[in-house]
Amino acid sequence: MTMSLYFVNQQNILPEIVLIFFLICSCAAMYIGTVLNGGKFEFNTFYTYFVLLIVFILWSKYLQSVEMNNYLLVIFRKLVTVYAGVSLIMWLVCSVLKIIQPTSSIFISWGSIHPVPVYLHLYAQSQEPITFLGFEAIRNTGMFAEAPMYSFVLSIALLVHSFVEKKMNCFTILLMITIITTASTTGTLVVLLVLFIRLSELMIRSKYRNMLVPITVTLLVSGFILLVTVVILKILQSDGSVSVRMDDFNAGYITWMQHPLFGIGLFNDGPLISNMNPARWPYLGHVGNVGFSSGFMKILAGGGLIFTIIFLICPVMINFLISIRRKNMFWGVSVGLVMIISISLVQNLYLFIFLIGWMWSNFINPKNGGN
């Protein structure tokens, strides 16, 4: 219905045809890479990276045509902000202070099928406590199976609030604090990015530059110390997440160089695993760690250069350049999304696909909408 409403109001649909042709080329390259490497091309892959992407692109353009630009992103941000406040309170009361006991439980399949405590159907403590320097800490997972996924949703809300709505207020602080309680390295980097960009902008435009400079430096140094602390915590946990991420980049690069144009197929993990450090392979009862962590390298190795350029690089660059030309701050979303996809595996999440579609929509008649 949305697509029909959009096309009925358009006099020139050539840009849409060109864009859909690009996406067909992207899908064809993804199919070729999968088949050539003995994989099976699933309908869900076609639906997620082609059909759904086109719907999201035209959906965003339709909202622009009826002067409801970025409406869905703003509504999303408001919903996430409300839940961030709820989860922060529940995390303090239930996980930190332990004032409220679990009221129920639910089975999740993250890692292995196991029960997790649920509090008042609002908050689930889905990860075990972690120990840092003798102190026990529990990550705020909200209603998610793991903290990084909750951090991803919060980070997108923070990017929308800071760069699309262009606001910095108490809600910004709430989102930042909630992200920090997830103890996610990616989320902490997004917080630092937002602080750096917004405070730099404020400092440049303000007549109180001399007073704001030391405040900005203090905040950035504090954020850097926080990030280092999180990294040290991960190292002391002996989960090796830092070295694993580096090995993932290396394995992704080697795999991509072996199949540079079409890749190996987005869900064909065999070649990626074979290029990982053998110490991560499961053997003789050793569980191993062959999970991938970089969405960008997964896209590059799995989809090849053609898919990566059309699906990711083009929309990110289009949004960045058009944002600069229009003198708004949407380019901050591009920068933040690149940071997230580089060290997180979120490329097949519907929220990520929607953001790619929102960015691609700027390719169609870029003079209209977007502010």
Q: What is the DSSP string of 62-118?
A: HHHHTT-TTHHHHHHHHHHHHHHHHHHHHIIIIIIS--S---EEEEE-SSS-EEEEE
* Residue 131, pLDDT score: 64
Site of tokens 């962590």: 293
The segment with the largest mean pLDDT, out of 62-71, 216-225, 264-273, 337-346, is 337-346
Tokens describing residue 81 = 């902000």
* Residue 238, pLDDT score: 47
Beta carbons of 127 and 147 less than 8 angstroms apart:
yes
Q: Where are the alpha helices (DSSP H) in the chain?
A: 2-8, 14-36, 43-46, 52-65, 71-90, 147-159, 170-181, 185-205, 209-236, 241-258, 270-274, 295-308, 314-326, 331-343, 350-360
Q: Over pLDDT 70: what percentage of the chain?
A: 84
pLDDT 10s digits, 27-80: 888 888 888 887 777 888 888 888 899 889 888 888 887 778 888 999 999 999
* Measured distance CA(81)–CA(254) in Å, rounded: 40
* Residue 371, pLDDT score: 39
Tokens describing residue 79 = 């919903």
pLDDT 10s digits, 237-276: 545 556 777 888 888 999 999 989 998 888 888 888 888 8
* Measured distance CA(200)–CA(209) in Å, rounded: 10
* Measured distance CA(264)–CA(52) in Å, rounded: 22
What is the pTM assigned to this prediction? 0.85
Per-residue pLDDT averaged across 9-22, rounded?
75
Helix pair angle (185-205, 147-159), 10° resolution? 20
